[in-house]
Structure 1
Amino acid sequence: MAALAWLAAALLLLVDWLLLRPGLPGIFSLLVPELPLLRVWAVGLSRWAILGLGVRRVLGVTTGAHGWLTVLPPLAAALGLAQPGLALFRELASWGALRDGDNAGVLYWGSRLDAFALSYVAALPAAALWYKLGSLWAPSSRRGAGDMVCRLLGFLGSEKRRLHLVLMLLVLSCLGEMAIPFFTGRITDWILQDKTAQSFARNIWLMSILTIASTVLEFTGDAIYNLTIGHMHSRAHGEVFRAVLRQETGFFLQNPAGSITSRVTEDTSKVCESVSDKLNLLMWYLGRGLCLLAFMFWGSLYLTLVTLLTLPLLFLLPRKLGKVNQSLQMKVQESLAKSSQVAIEALSAMPTVRSFANEEGEAQKFRQKLEEMKTLNKKEALAYVAEVWTMNVSGMLLKVGILYVGGQLVVRGAVSSGNLVSFVLYQLQFTSAVEVLLSIYPWMQKAVGSSEKIFEYLDRTPCSPLSGSLAPLNMEGLVEFQDVSFAYPNHPDVQVLQGLTFTLHPGKVTALVGPNGSGKSTVAALLQNLYQPTGGQVLLDGQPLVQYDHHYLHRQVAAVGQEPLLFGRSFRENIAYGLIQTPTMEEIRAVAMKSGAHDFISGLPQGYDTEVGETGNQLSGGQRQAVALARALIRKPRVLILDDATSALDANNQLRVQRLLYENRGPASPAVLIITQQLSLAEQAHHILFLKDGSICEQGSHLQLMEKSGSCYRAMVEALGAPSD
């Protein structure tokens, strides 16, 4: 395919050389004989159309090709527009070349071979620049820099339209910056031609007004840009955090909370700030560079070509030397680190050094490391001198070359002295803009490259769906575990549950007991849909849990753990946490009374508006459990899970919870699953499940299990009830 592409491109070049070069100028000289400028544009646009059609055919032959082939469309455009653009510049600059029949031939790229070659000389760099910018901004499956920037700018939403205004202000500001070199050249001509002081003062005022207007426009554009990008920062943080919250529970087991927090806060901030700063500089200096390049072409085509041809010498060689200097700097730092390590080892082990009388040996080793660093410092200094010398000499040679070529053009009358002065000022600003762009580009790529970390979260698809669509109006609360097996994502080879089958009935209390590590808390996690079973299924009213709407499910299934987490908010907000409709204070007080939290909350100066502190650290364990129980009860769930949730309560509150669970039970009451080591709660349960090694080995009521000789449940009861020795 690559060979065919090269062959097709070669055929297009032959068509351009053999057919279009002699044919198009002849045709349009007959069709448009009296308007040279129009004739040049007709030839150029026709050439662009024919080559563009050929390029599309080439790309059609090599479907799926990439790389250099993508430069062919902009190359066709540049080849078609190079000569018409030059003609327009000459006309606007009043050089009169189009009005002079003897000089008009230079504009017809078919009439002279050097003009034909010049069109390729001008088109190839333009197409290469277009390709480079296209690779930067075009979305890519490999996540190029442009793809990342576009995605970050996508966080702006409708405010992204402000960037169009910023671009317009940028162009106007850059045009205004051209006033000083432009009028400096004109003033030079007037001084040499002894023009009147009135014209001189009028143009000084005009130059000042344009310069001030440029500054105001730049300030306005910067203000709008920074305000707009500031909104991108906040929205990016929000989107990344929202993407993290969508992940399955196993994701948080595999990724430490510190790492996740760092990406959501620090990485997102650094990426947004770096991209916004570098993008701002890239936009402004690219706009200035293009405006300066246009005015340079306006002033002198030949001087502009000299500048463009010498740019590689001006920047590429110093950049290569700069990389050598950077590598030497890294080696110096490594050598310094090694010498510091020798000193740290010796000083931290001075008793050992002294006991072996090796002070001089350590000093000698330290001197050796310093000698190595001294040699590297010399190389670094030479590389720095070479870099600076090369940059200064190349810059000086460019200035000398411009002045020499410009002086020859002034002598021949091709340009005026003022135009030469303006061009030199343009050229100085242009090289500075190019230097800044070359320094910004790698930083831009580096900053955008680091955004891959946050886009990993934005693009990550949860391994299990967070929410279904099922939300029935009425729910009984019948829970069925059908042959459920489970292994945690971070330990997929360790089966925590194996073939678990049981049923929780509405209005009934089921106690799940067993030794530590038997999988009791895992059962509670599966029932809350925090994880998906690796085998079997968990049904609620006959439907798998994953099919229920996320918010609906967790209104119907509520859980309280042994060490519940509260948020650094008020008691009222913690109890109403997660509810879409804010409950009344009467409802909050009612559930707080049931859980035993009302007594200590009402005794506080601010009552339910008191802050509980970070993670509830201002409360005791029993108080946190009471608040968490109230948080579960206010949802009026159809399934209530108590995972050792009363272990820290005092005797009075434990008795209150027992009455809550076992008194006035009926079909309308929720199904309750108690995971506990407290016999007083378990023995009253309607049904007891004994879990061992991830499987249910015994089940029945307290009396039934106690009547079984040698049962695991009976052994546990006797062990817990036996007096300690």
Structure 2
Amino acid sequence: MASYTLQIVLHLLLLVHLFLRGAAAALGQALIPYYTGVIIDCASIDPDFKEFQWTCLKLVIVSLGCAVFTGIRGGLFTIGMTRLNVRIRTSLFDSLMRQEISFFSSTRTGEITSRLSADTTTVSDQICLNMNVGLRSLTQAAMVLVFMFRASWRLSVITFIIIPAIILITKVYGAYYRELAKAVQKELADANSVAEEALSSMTTVRAHAAENSAKAAYQECLRKFYTLQLKEALAYGTYMICTTFLPNAVNVVTLYYGGNLVLDGMMSAGALVSFMLYVASLNGAFQALGDVFSAFAAALGAADKVIELIQREPQLPDAGSLQPPSFSGRLELQDVSFSYPSRPDSRVLDSISLRVNPGEVVALVGPSGGGKTSIVKLVERFYLPDAGAVLLDGLEVGAYDPRWLKRRVALVAQEPVLFARSVRRNICYGLEAEDGVHPRDIPSAADVERAARLANAHDFISAMPQGYDTDCGEKGVSLSGGQKQRIAIARALVRNPTVLLLDEATSALDSDSEAVVQEALDRMMRNHTVLVIAHRLSTVAGADRILVIQGGSVAEEGTHESLAEAGGLYSALGMLHPTKPPKSI
């Protein structure tokens, strides 16, 4: 709290400092036309060589001071812009890290990355840059107005005719432009989503010769973006016509009336020149404010989505903080019913109940879409059941502290995800100091190696150029499927978990890789509570119990031998012979 208060104070001091620097620069800008008029009077109307020289020196000093203060203000605003960019990105990323899994299922990754990269940059850059220009222009306009009234209140009144018209035009234009800017940001996000989807799945695109359809989808998004940009250009062009003509029309009227005042001896020629320079400076300030207003409208269009994501509250309730001294790993589902939030009318699990006792290996088999993986997702608390309860040691999964629980319940998925970091850091993923793990709980090099040996991964890791410090590349691109799967198994084992969740951990592997990974899985399943989803006999034959899941409920239950003798759905799935492929699992 004290640190946050200190940051607020520092920001306020920075803003005060910026305002003072801006005011000094604006005063210099206002003095330049004044001294210009005095120089003209000293050189032609009322010649005075000494005053002429002294005034020229003043003009040089004022110009230099104006330049120095303008540079300092610009540099400080650049620092402020960078700080704001970092804060917005950090706040947005923190918010994204808190969102529930269903949010990422319903929101395209490209759209999220667009908000995190393009939109945050637009917001921070435009706000800070235009705050700089806007503050300078407002201060400059205020200073110039003071000097204008001092030079001639009559001409100043004429000049004020333009202000209400420009304010009205700017207000109408700003409201319209903001809506257009929001639509532009949406189309850009859609285009990014299409591009990211195609680029991240290039092998699939190339395998199906779908390059043209990918390009067509991307071009369609860009076509909509271009149409909106045309509307923006038309609106901006109309706005510029109005805001350019009106000041020039007022200039003509001011020159005409001011010339008559000079001819009547009510005003000197130098004063008229100064006044016209004031008018030019005022017009420049209003022109800059108009541009600032347009840029702010664009920034607000991007900011709406960014702020919406930052302020979004996760739909999944916060987990508890329970960290019991003992944990046996008894897993239960009691009359659980579940539908995915994106498909609320399609029930995936229908009043299903099951129990996995401590140290027991229970296998789930069944037709694809029966709800097997959904059970794992509920145990992991990626989603909440619509009815019933998911229990660990008799307590709701949500009652436990999430970090504490993830060290005791480990998941090995069908498609392991590795990150662009070393093998060692991939095995220790989630168990590093940055994750808030106590130093004594951070795996040592010996722990990592022991987990790799159990996962049959140590040999191929040691053969790599840098061993455990070898970079895996983005999504583990430099490794084979079997190697990635064994590193994922080591990542689970290094936690020394009580409960293991194995979601078809060998289904995507070839026969050679499967044999090696299956040996690692057999080691894993000793002395653990295991819930394994599989469709191969080699995985399920040694399970203590096998549950056949169909239509979101338990259709059959028993050992491999008893289910094989029963000749029911288990037999129909093709689970009786190791060489016979399953029909639909």
Q: Which residue of 2 aligns with 1:572?
A: 424
Answer yes or no: is 1:655 the counterpart of 2:519.
yes
Cα displacement (A) at 1:226: 0.6
Q: Which residue of 2 aligns with 1:79?
A: none
Cα displacement (A) at 1:312: 5.3
State how far apart, in whole Å, the 2-side matches of 1:552 and 1:451 are.
36
Q: Which residue of 2 aligns with 1:711?
A: 568
- Greater Cα shift, 311-320 or 397-406: 311-320
Letter in 1 for 2:383: Y
State how far apart, in whole Å, the 1-side matches of 2:108 and 2:572 are.
39
1:611 to 1:160, Cα distance in 2 relative to 1, 3 A: farther
Answer yes or no: is 1:217 the counterpart of 2:62.
no
State how far apart, in whole Å, the 1-side matches of 2:163 and 2:339 are.
63
Aligned ranges for residues 504-583 of structure 1 at < 5 Å? 504-579=356-431, 580=437, 581=439, 582-583=442-443
Gaps of 5+ in 1: 1-153, 322-379
State how far apart, in whole Å, the 2-side matches of 1:632 and 1:386 are.
61
Cα displacement (A) at 1:241: 1.9
CA contact (8 A) 1:571 1:610 kept: yes
- Greater Cα shift, 628-637 or 278-287: 278-287
Letter in 1 for 2:51: S
State how far apart, in whole Å, the 2-side matches of 1:566 and 1:314 are.
57
Larger Rg: 1
Of 410, 428, 436, which residue of structure 1 is paired with 2:288? 436
Cα displacement (A) at 1:609: 0.6
Of 682, 689, 695, which residue of structure 1 is paired with 2:547? 689
Aligned ranges for residues 232-271 of structure 1 at < 5 Å? 232-271=84-123
1:643 to 1:399, Cα distance in 2 relative to 1, 3 A: closer
Cα displacement (A) at 1:176: 1.1
The C-alpha deviation readout for 1:77-109, integer Å capped at 9, x for no partner, is xxxxxxxxxxxxxxxxxxxxxxxxxxxxxxxxx
Give aligned pairs, total: 504
Q: Which residue of 2 aligns with 1:281?
A: 133
The C-alpha deviation readout for 1:641-676, integer Å capped at 9, x for no partner, is 1112144334355234324424xx3xxxx3111111
CA contact (8 A) 1:246 1:466 kept: no
Of 577, 598, 601, which residue of structure 1 is paired with 2:461? 601
CA contact (8 A) 2:43 2:49 kept: no
Answer yes or no: is 1:449 the counterpart of 2:306.
no
Answer yes or no: is 1:642 the counterpart of 2:506.
no
Aligned ranges for residues 135-284 of structure 1 at < 5 Å? 158-159=10-11, 161-191=13-43, 194=46, 196-284=48-136
Q: Which residue of 1 aligns with 2:251?
A: 399
Answer yes or no: is 1:680 the counterpart of 2:526.
no
The C-alpha deviation readout for 1:336-371, integer Å capped at 9, x for no partner, is xxxxxxxxxxxxxxxxxxxxxxxxxxxxxxxxxxxx
Partner SS state of residue 450, structure 1? helix
Gaps of 5+ in 2: 1-5, 174-232, 432-436
Partner SS state of residue 578, structure 1? coil
Letter in 1 for 2:53: A
Letter in 2 for 1:651: A
1:236 to 1:156, Cα distance in 2 relative to 1, 3 A: farther
State how far apart, in whole Å, the 2-side matches of 1:585 and 1:390 are.
69
Of 450, 457, 469, which residue of structure 1 is paired with 2:321? 469
CA contact (8 A) 1:156 1:229 kept: no
Q: Which residue of 2 aligns with 1:590?
A: 450
TM-score by length of 1: 0.64
Partner SS state of residue 689, structure 1? strand
Letter in 2 for 1:713: Y
State how far apart, in whole Å, the 1-side matches of 2:489 and 2:242 are.
76
Letter in 1 for 2:487: V
The C-alpha deviation readout for 1:22-63, integer Å capped at 9, x for no partner, is xxxxxxxxxxxxxxxxxxxxxxxxxxxxxxxxxxxxxxxxxx
Letter in 2 for 1:697: A
Measured on the aligned residues, the alpha-carbon RMSD in Å equals: 3.2
Answer yes or no: is 1:298 the counterpart of 2:150.
yes
Aligned residues with identical type, % of pairs = 36
State how far apart, in whole Å, the 2-side matches of 1:672 and 1:630 are.
16
CA contact (8 A) 1:318 1:388 kept: no
Partner SS state of residue 569, structure 1? coil
State how far apart, in whole Å, the 1-side matches of 2:165 and 2:394 are.
77
Partner SS state of residue 498, structure 1? strand
Cα displacement (A) at 1:302: 2.1
State how far apart, in whole Å, the 1-side matches of 2:122 and 2:88 are.
11
Partner SS state of residue 549, structure 2? strand
Q: Which of structures 1 and 2 has the larger relative contact order (alpha carbons within 8 angstroms, sep 6+)?
A: 2
1:320 to 1:638, Cα distance in 2 relative to 1, 3 A: closer
Letter in 2 for 1:564: P
State how far apart, in whole Å, the 2-side matches of 1:693 and 1:511 are.
17
State how far apart, in whole Å, the 1-side matches of 2:446 and 2:266 are.
93
State how far apart, in whole Å, the 1-side matches of 2:349 and 2:239 are.
70
Q: Which residue of 2 aligns with 1:623?
A: 483
CA contact (8 A) 2:421 2:472 kept: yes
Cα displacement (A) at 1:318: 12
TM-score by length of 2: 0.79
1:473 to 1:296, Cα distance in 2 relative to 1, 3 A: farther
Q: Which residue of 2 aligns with 1:426?
A: 278
The C-alpha deviation readout for 1:236-264, integer Å capped at 9, x for no partner, is 22221221121111111111212222221
Letter in 1 for 2:519: L
1:385 to 1:639, Cα distance in 2 relative to 1, 3 A: closer
1:390 to 1:493, Cα distance in 2 relative to 1, 3 A: closer
Cα displacement (A) at 1:692: 1.1
CA contact (8 A) 2:95 2:310 kept: yes
1:571 to 1:482, Cα distance in 2 relative to 1, 3 A: same
1:656 to 1:292, Cα distance in 2 relative to 1, 3 A: closer
